[in-house]
A and B are shown apart, each in its own frame.
Chain A
Amino acid sequence: MKGRFTKILFLKLLLFTFSCEIEEVGTLNLLTEEIVNVSGERAVVLGRIIAFENIPVEDHGFYFAEEESFLDPIIISLGATERPGRFVGEVSGLQLGKNYFVKAFVVRAGEMIFANTLSFETLNPSILRYEPLVQFGGGEVIITGINLADDTRVFFGDREAEVREVIFGFQVRVTVPPIASSISEQIRVVTRGIELEVETPFRYAVGKFNLLDANALEGLSIVENIYFQQGERFFAGMGRDSGNQSTDFIWEYNFAQGEWVKTGFEARMQRAASDSHTGYFGGGFFQTNIFGPQIPSDNYWHFDGLEYKELPPAPINISDGFGYEIQGQFYIAGGTIGVGSQVYRYDPASNAWEIRPNLPSNVDKGMVHFVYNDHLYWIDRDNNLIQYNPFTAQSQTVSRYPSPMIENTTDSGGFALVMGDKVFIGLYNNAREIWELDMEILDWGRKQNFTGDARGRITGAYSKDGILYFLRSYLVNPRTEFWEFDPEAF
């Protein structure tokens, strides 16, 4: 009897067990699995339906809300599904810097089933940088930051700029509004109602050109010449004329009369000479006339403001080489004949030349070069701005000239004028661009493009009272024009 009772009990327990299992069939577990990614206004969330058979649900997705009670939720509905597995929810348009809650849901047989709740915080926006720092009105500036929403607006001062594109929430392309009353404006960015101010003020690319003399230098179009400045006196001359006329002179600009007049210095036809732009010049080729033989010249002079003093002959023939003055000593270097990196120095104290360490690469006069803080700088034909210490013979590339150069077209000529910590560089042959280089931070700022005929070459460059002056010679309709450029005017 006892054994029978035990058997019945065991049978009942077995039935209970089976009945439990039958009830389990058709159930599902729902999981809000992981916050995959959160940015300023967007979140990506993973959810999962766990079941051991296909369970059709009418809808599934996620609830997002700022309160855990989900009173006013943003519902991401992914529609009906029949199979268990992972699903992805992506929400955008969230408020920046807010705490949010999210939970997965399914609707099954009309019943809403929710999963566990996760929380996350959307990120705050900020501005990292913008470039270029200087641009024309109507040009484009790219502002880089983090967590910028699609509704981002940008203001230059009080004027709103046209936002062309918000790229992946970290870059904004804007069109700079036309210049108003100031060359500098503060940039403000408003995204999802949050206002951000950019630290560095934006500067407009400005500058105004004025043609002073359309036919300077007596109508000649001089090339391969030298030019220099003594105090506020501008000089240019030697070289040759593109029309094969003699240019055996040096002219000086007379501000009172507004014209270039010949000085007492009569040079032989000496072209492709090196000059420091400070009064030292010489070398290159000597020709008796434009069709005569080219004889390397070792004649060098120095104009001290009063007279032209002849220097001892240089121990090397240099044509189209660099000339530069550092600490009162005159250097000649490179050129297109012989070794293109040799350096010689003239010391006025000893009235003698001496050889110096070679430059790290070949240079010639077609490369813009200048002296700043007793260092030589030049821009090679790969746009690299190279700094060279003449005392330690160490060199390094410190920046790049921003405008593209076209080989044999716009990669030669140009000018560089040092004005305090700023260097104005540009107007290469057949090019219009002028840049302002801040030597302290090595930042390039665009200036207004040259408004005259671009198909010319610089044959003189000077500065006075913050204004740039330059001579530009033309081979077509041969002439030399004299221009002034106010870099701050607009």
Chain B
Amino acid sequence: MKKLSSYILILFSLFLIYACIDVFPFENERPEPILALEGYITTIPKVHRIRLSRADRFSPDFNGLNRPETLAKVLIKDNLGNVEVLTESTAGVYLTQENFAAKVGKTYNLEIILNDGRRFISRPETVAPAPLVDSLSYRAVRTASENSFIDEVGVRIFAHFQDPPDQQNYYFWNMLPSDFQLVAEPELNLNSPFHPTCPRCPNPLECCRICYFSERPSPPNVNTAEDSDFNGLYQNIPIAYIRDNGLRFKGIYKAKIQHLSVSQNAYRHLTLIGQQVGLTGSVFDPPPANIRGNLINLDDPEDTPLGYFFASDEIPLETYIHPERLEFVFRPQTLFPTDCRAYVVGIGIVRPNDPQIPPADWNPNR
């Protein structure tokens, strides 16, 4: 009887084991890489840039790369039938000719033929005129930060312009890489920690105190506005914000900004992008999301490429921010206790040959 019970127990256990290893019919859905587009054209004659890449899956287990989409044919077409063929300069970066410029009132489509034959076209974008900005001003602002003992300090730039009353206007202000004076303290230079005889000993340098570098302003805000609340009224509106990291505003900072008119759809897209860029992780944040762009896959309408191609009227703006004209700056300021030429520029920024020479268009006293 005892033996019979053992057999039954083994049999029952076997049943249990088989039940445990029963294959669950699961298929890992690995989506095809999505085409991602970055770029826009403006009314300023110059080389305009369109970047194409394949947005891959991003998850805690990193398993995708944003690879450049190379060997594509990229065309910009206007509503009269003019075609601008872009040439690939580096992998996935396509450039117009030097003198290409959009024209106000014209409508543009971006057409892309990928190397694998897939074809995309953007929905039409019409260039609306951008009203002239008559003045720029700036002021220091202080905001609470995550550290309750240290407020964030920055400089907010304001544009003063007359919003046209007879049309619905949508604005986008894009901050470009900007030049600044790096003020260093070479007299505070120390020997390296690996110095053979006197590590970290004072070793004052005679050169150099002031250098000129470019940087991509931080934080990367997307500044947009629409005139439904102020149609036809004179505006004094914030268009950019640059955080004071203790180093930026020790010297003069030359902020470069594009004042752009955009379409309603482009405005909506950019605003949503701005929301995503500004996620802080708080409960009030919008949920992370893929924002649909205006590219259409001509062969597969279910495809959802990312990015938005738009055409804008551009008015380039620039202002010199003098530290002595700011109400306050970040304290304590960051020391750069060595030769200012030792500063390392950010990724994508061209380092000047001689950082001591101001850029050719540097004219803070105008």
Contact = CB atoms under 8 A, between A and B. Distances in A.
The bracket for how many chain B residues form the interface is 10 to 19
B296 A39 contact: no
Interface string B293-337: 000111001100000000000000000000000000000000000
A85 B80 CA distance: 30
Contacts of A36: 109, 121, 123-124, 296
Contact of B85 (A34, A90, A168): A168
Main secondary structure of the interface of A (DSSP, over half): strand
A88 B111 CA distance: 14
A39 B302 contact: no
Given A37-B109, A87-B301, A88-B301, A123 B81 contact: yes
A39 B121 contact: no
Contacts of B49: none
A146 B80 contact: yes
Nearest to B296: A88
Given A44-B121, A88-B298, A90-B298, A37 B81 contact: no
Contact of B75 (A88, A125, A147, A168): A168
Contacts of A87: 301
Contact of A123 (B80, B85, B121, B297): B80
A145 to B, nearest CB: 8
A146 B121 contact: no
A61 to B, nearest CB: 12
B82 interface: yes
Contacts of A146: 80-83
Contacts of B111: 37
B77 interface: yes
A85 B81 contact: no
Contacts of A125: 81
Nearest to A83: B302
B107 to A, nearest CB: 9
Counting chain A CB atoms within 10 Å of each CB, the highest count among B77, B85, B297 belongs to B77
Contact of A170 (B82, B109, B298, B302): B82
Contacts of A35: 124
Nearest to B85: A168
A402 B296 CA distance: 41
Nearest to A40: B81
A46 interface: yes
A169 interface: yes
A123 B82 CA distance: 11
Contacts of B79: 38
Contacts of B298: 44, 88, 90
Interface in A29-84: 34-40, 44, 46
A398 B155 CA distance: 46
Given A36-B124, A87-B301, A169 B83 contact: yes
Nearest to A48: B301
B81 A39 contact: yes
A368 B298 CA distance: 54
Given A87-B301, A90-B298, A37 B75 contact: no
Contacts of B123: 34, 36, 46
B301 A37 contact: no
Nearest to A47: B301
8 contacts: A36-B124, A37-B111, A46-B123, A88-B296, A125-B81, A147-B81, A169-B83, A170-B81
Given A46-B296, A168-B85, A169-B83, 20 more contacts: A34-B123, A36-B109, A36-B121, A36-B123, A36-B296, A37-B109, A37-B121, A37-B124, A39-B81, A40-B81, A44-B121, A85-B301, A85-B302, A86-B296, A123-B80, A125-B81, A147-B81, A168-B73, A168-B75, A168-B83
